Amino acid sequence: MTPLATSLAAAAVVLLLALAHAGRPYWAWIAAAGCALGAWWAESGDSTAWRVTAGVALGAALLFGLRPLRAALLGRPLLAVLSPIFPRMSDTERVALDAGTVWWDRELFSGRPAWRAMLAFRPRPLDERERAFLAGPCRELCRLVDDEEVRRTGDLPPAVWDFIRRERFMGMIIPESYGGLGFSAAANSAVVALLSSRSVAASVTVMVPNSLGPAELLLHYGTDEQKSHWLPRLARGEEVPCFALTEPHAGSDAGGMLSRGVVCRGSWQGREVTGMRLSWNKRYITLAPVATVIGLAFRLFDPERLLGGNEDLGITCALIPRDTPGVIAGARHDPLGIPFMNGTTEGHEVFVPLEFIIGGRAMAGQGWRMLMECLSAGRSISLPANSTGGAQLAARAVGAYATVREQFNLPIGRFEGVQAPLARIAGTVYWLNALRTVTAGAVDAGEKPSVISAVAKCWSTEAMRRVVNDAMDVVGGAGICRGPRNVLAAAYQATPIGITVEGANILTRSMIVFGQGAIRCHPWALQEMEAAARKDHVALDRAFFAHVGFVFTNGVRSFLLALSGGRLASVPGGADSRRVLRQLTRWSASYALTADFAMGTLGGTLKRKEHVTGRMADALAWMYVAAAAVHRFEADGRPERDRALFRWATDEALWHVQEALRGVVDNLPLRPAAWKLRALVFPLGARLRPPTDRAVAAAARCLVDGHEAREALTRDIHVPSHDERGLGALERALSLTLSTAPLRKKLREAVAARKLPRLDEGALIEAARAQGLVTSAEHAELLEAWRARDAAVQVDAFDARTFPTDPTPPPARGRPATARG
């Protein structure tokens, strides 16, 4: 046999061993390459070099291909080297990691997302009963609420509270068997989105009982007796719940709470029982001022070992009736002037039986697990829906305003400086609703997506902040003068609230998304950490070398996909979607590779490198945003009306992914590793750009001039009647402006032909009528449209003698047709 034939045979043996024993034959290709190099040397006459090279290659193949041999020789040394590197997890971190499920986040972390399965996912549609509730009680509630009155009085009117209770808005998540509505996550999300476009106070009042709180915890962990007692009362609104978690010294670090309970004997309703003596001081608790039952989180201690376990039992959740002796009705907070019920609750030496623990005695000390397992569902629904409703309201209002408000004889929506924020508003609302629906769909499909829910909460509330800020810039002075005409003030004031609650966005971005995602979504990292913790060198060997193969594979894929601009990836969908999915496939491989470089070079210190983890969270989140946008575009049948919005949203998202990963590469402390990573991830540099000026103009046009995309973008909100100030007046002005556009064009042409003088529009309409250029009917239409536009751009003014004690605007007064405006 010639040296060449021998080397080829050796290469074949290497590959067979790889396929039989390793599953990921990355090392086999290296060994085969060594055999091929040896064959080349042998053919060149250098037999010694051939023997050495082929011997090394075959030795590597045997060592790494025969897993038992590899584990026996390398497993224990690996355990000794890697154990000190892996970060140590506290019990609370372990519970947080074990809670919930992984979903699309795992696919995006894989380097090779299963796009066909992801695009085939269909969120559960609303059933007939849910659609009827949206069209009936929800719309009626919107008609009942006067948000300006709520702001003036500081509370929802009694009639509105009664309606919320009667129609069981507080029991949307409670099954029908317990008297609730038993709605899906999609319906819950749709209700909150609709109400938030009408009144933040009303939406929060409905949202909170259906999110993380007593009902959710009872459904999952309550005893049968607790469910039978509490759930029907909560569904009917006879009991109003709140959930008390946050304290003055324990906010984002809920595990550091000072509220405590001590297991002891005491008197309850005339008999001696084993119970708990509780003391707490909580703040920022929504519905606390009106709550009749308090869901309380506290740390439980058993110093006398009455329960037979440890002294420190851990965080525990219990239901405490407000009328229990020792419970203090707390004061009320003022959250930026948004008048929903929020305040403090205190308890001092409050004694209750152990049966008040949610789930009974068996769940003592299990509160942190309960909270982590339930948080992902509520966080997937409430704030993304609230943000989407507010953003859609801003988009609808600003689209109308930019059409009817004119400066320099042009609608302001025609100016490029205004088109930039209009495009951001339209494109952001497009992907925001896609994210909302697909995330709620995951919950309906049985997922509890802990990482995705954190992304949805953080990025949706940040999106609302950007949309509302841009909308305020467009409407200018009309946005800063409060009153019934101001559509944006409440959303602008409320935006920081959503950003702060359910895990402040700073913490969520810098610690939670990648902190959990890197371990939960990575195919091998958690297995390695668990094997090292168990001192299992065989399991560690298997996971470690599979991890090495994962890195090698993603390194090659990242490099080749970067060189080809993603064109080597095989993806489904239409042409527009394939363009995005190819890029996402490239970034998925690059993301997984970058994550491994970060974990490998920083080790246990990575959790403290929050600039790095924050940028990794950005990249993962924007990949999810782009994937959700593709899913929406494909599920909707690739409508032409949405193409400009889809293009803007995905271009924006892909650019953010690139910039986030570039930021990680630029700032990795170990620079030699960063240089290698840059060569694999950015071999041709960072070539993506944000949306072009042409894409910006196209997206902006979707909001103005009555474009059909505006209706589709804002289909989930309440649009009031035309006789209502604010959005109603804007809608009326827009409708009349569009219907009289041909007549207004006729007047402009007459001015250009010098048939009419240059006058204010009101005077111009009268001059056209006097000269017979328009009929009486046309004159009436033009005059009505002009007056509607004039009314729509007015702002509220108050009587200086009574303001602010009586901030009631005087009734709108008509203006003469010749007035300047």
User: 681-721, pLDDT tens digit by residue?
Assistant: 999 999 999 999 999 999 999 999 989 999 999 999 999 99
Handedness of CA 186, 191, 197, 201 (dihedral sign): negative
| pTM to 2 decimal places | 0.91
What residue has token string 């003014």? 797
Q: What is the pLDDT of residues 613-635, one digit of tens each?
A: 999 999 999 999 999 999 999 99
| Contact between residue 257 and residue 297 where contact means Cβ atoms under 8 Å apart | yes
Which of the four pLDDT bands, split at 50, 70 and 90, describes residue 407?
very high
Alpha-carbon span 246 to 406, nearest angstrom:
48
**Are residues 218 and 230 in contact, defined by beta-carbon separation less than 8 angstroms?**
yes
Encoded tokens for 672? 């030699």
pLDDT, mean of residues 3-22: 48
Q: State the average pLDDT over residues 332-354.
A: 95
Find the farthest-apart pair of alpha carbons in the chain and give their distance in angstroms, rounded: 108
Select the highest-mean-pLDDT range: 79-93, 128-142, 590-604.
128-142
| Cβ 578 vs Cβ 571: under 8 Å | yes
pLDDT of residue 409: 85
Q: Does the pLDDT value for residue 195 go beyond 70?
A: yes
Helix axes 47-65, 67-82, angle to 10 degrees: 80
pLDDT digits (tens, 9 = 90+) for 471-507: 999 999 999 999 999 999 999 999 999 999 888 999 9
Distance of CA 170 to the CA centre of its chain: 23
Cβ-based burial of 496 (10 A; exposed 0-12, middle 13-18, buried ≥19): middle
Q: According to the model, what pLDDT value does residue 90 have?
A: 67
pLDDT at 544: 83
pLDDT of residue 807: 57
Residues found in the chain: 821
Whether the pLDDT of residue 1 is over 90: the answer is: no
Q: Predicted confidence band at 817 (pLDDT cuts at 50, 70, 90)?
A: very low
Tokens 């056209």 -> residue: 768
Q: At what angle do helices 367-404 and 489-500 cross, to 10 degrees?
A: 160
Q: What is the pLDDT of residue 276?
A: 97
> Which one of 41-45, 255-259, 793-797 scores highest in mean pLDDT?
793-797
Looking at this protein, which amino acid is placed at residue 229?
Answer: H
Residues 188/196, Cβ–Cβ less than 8 Å: no
The angle at the Cα of 669, spanning 664 to 672, to the nearest 5 degrees, equals 95
Helix (H, G, I), strand (E, B) or coil at 806: coil
Cis peptide before 804 (omega within 30 of 0): yes
Least confident of 92-101, 254-263, 539-548: 92-101
The percentage of residues in the chain with a pLDDT greater than 90, rounded to a whole number, is: 72
| Of the candidates 430, 482, 511, the residue with the CA atom closest to the CA atom of residue 147 | 482
- DSSP-derived secondary structure letter, 256: G
CB 728 within 8 A of CB 487: no
Closest of 707, 632, 630 to residue 423, by C-alpha: 707
The pLDDT tens digits for 114-123 are 999 999 999 9
Mean pLDDT, the chain, rounded, equals 88
Taking the CA atoms of 418, 423, 425 and 426 in sequence, report the sign of the dihedral they define. positive
Q: Strand 271-286 relative to strand 342-353: parallel, antiparallel, unpaired? A: antiparallel
Going through 94-237 in order, the beta strands assigned E by DSSP cover none
User: Which of the two residues, 254 and 324, has the higher pLDDT score?
Assistant: 324
| Cα–Cα distance measured from residue 69 to residue 62, given in angstroms and rounded to the nearest whole number | 8
**Which residues contact residue 736 at a Cβ distance below 8 angstroms, ignoring those fewer than 6 apart?**
781, 784, 785, 788, 789
Closest CA to 715 of 130, 190, 206, 186: 190
Lowest mean pLDDT among 93-97, 244-248, 647-651, 752-756: 93-97
Mean pLDDT of 324-353: 94
Cβ contact 626:602 at 8 Å: no
Greater confidence (33 vs 109) lies with 109
Average pLDDT over residues 320-336: 93
Residue 313 has pLDDT above 80, yes or no: yes
Q: Please give the average per-residue pLDDT across 274-291, as a whole number.
A: 96
- Say what the pLDDT of residue 819 is: 34
For range 110-115, the mean pLDDT: 95
Q: Write the DSSP assignment of 305-349 as a string of letters.
A: -TTSS-SEEEEEEEEEETTSTTEEEEEE--STT--S-EEEEEEEE
Question: How much is the pLDDT for 697?
Answer: 97
The predicted model gives 353-365 an average pLDDT of 95
* 268-273 LR contacts (CB < 8 Å, sep 24+): 268/351, 268/352, 268/353, 273/353, 273/354
Cβ atoms < 10 Å from Cβ of 335: 21
Number of H helices, E strands in the chain: 34, 9
18 — pLDDT class (breaks 50, 70, 90): very low
Give 41-44's long-range contacts (Cβ < 8 A, gap of 24+).
42/2, 42/3, 42/4, 42/7, 43/3, 43/4
SS (H, E, C) 269-289: CCEEEEEEEEEEEEEEEECHH
Q: Please give the Cα distance from 190 to 137 (Å, whole number).
A: 13
Q: What's the mean pLDDT in 505-532?
A: 85
- In the three-class reduction of DSSP (H, G, I as helix; E, B as strand; rest coil), residue 609 is classed as coil
pLDDT value of residue 378:
80
pLDDT-based confidence at 814, cuts 50/70/90?
very low
pLDDT for residue 535: 85
Q: Is the pLDDT of residue 426 over 80?
A: yes
What dihedral do alpha carbons 203, 433, 700, 200 form, nearest 10°? 10
Mean pLDDT of 137-165: 95
Residue 782 has pLDDT above 90, yes or no: yes
Is residue 50's pLDDT more than 80? no
- Which residue did the predictor score with more confidence, 19 or 420? 420
Contact at 8 Å (CB) between 443 and 188?
no
Does the pLDDT of residue 17 top 50, yes or no? no
Question: Going by C-beta distance under 8 Å and a sequence separation of 6 or more, which residues neighbour residue 734?
Answer: 400, 403, 404, 706
Q: Is the predicted pLDDT of residue 27 greater than 60, yes or no?
A: no
Q: Is the pLDDT of residue 664 over 90?
A: yes
Please state, in angstroms and rounded to a whole number, the distance separating the CA atoms of residues 327 and 278: 10
Q: Are strands 260-268 and 293-301 parallel, antiparallel or unpaired?
A: parallel
> Are residues 309 and 302 in contact, defined by beta-carbon separation less than 8 angstroms?
yes
Residue 416 annotated among the catalytic residues of the structure = no
Contact 219, 234 (CB under 8 A): no
Amino acid identity of 520?
A: R
127-149, pLDDT tens digit by residue? 999 999 999 999 999 999 999 99
- Determine contact, residues 478/795, Cβ cutoff 8 Å: yes
pLDDT class of 815 with cuts at 50, 70, 90: very low
Cβ atoms 193, 717 nearer than 8 A: yes
Helix (H) or strand (E) holding 267: strand 260-268
Q: Are 141 and 202 in contact (CB under 8 A)?
A: yes
Catalytic member of 107, 247, 502, 652: 502
Segment 786-790 shows an average pLDDT of 95
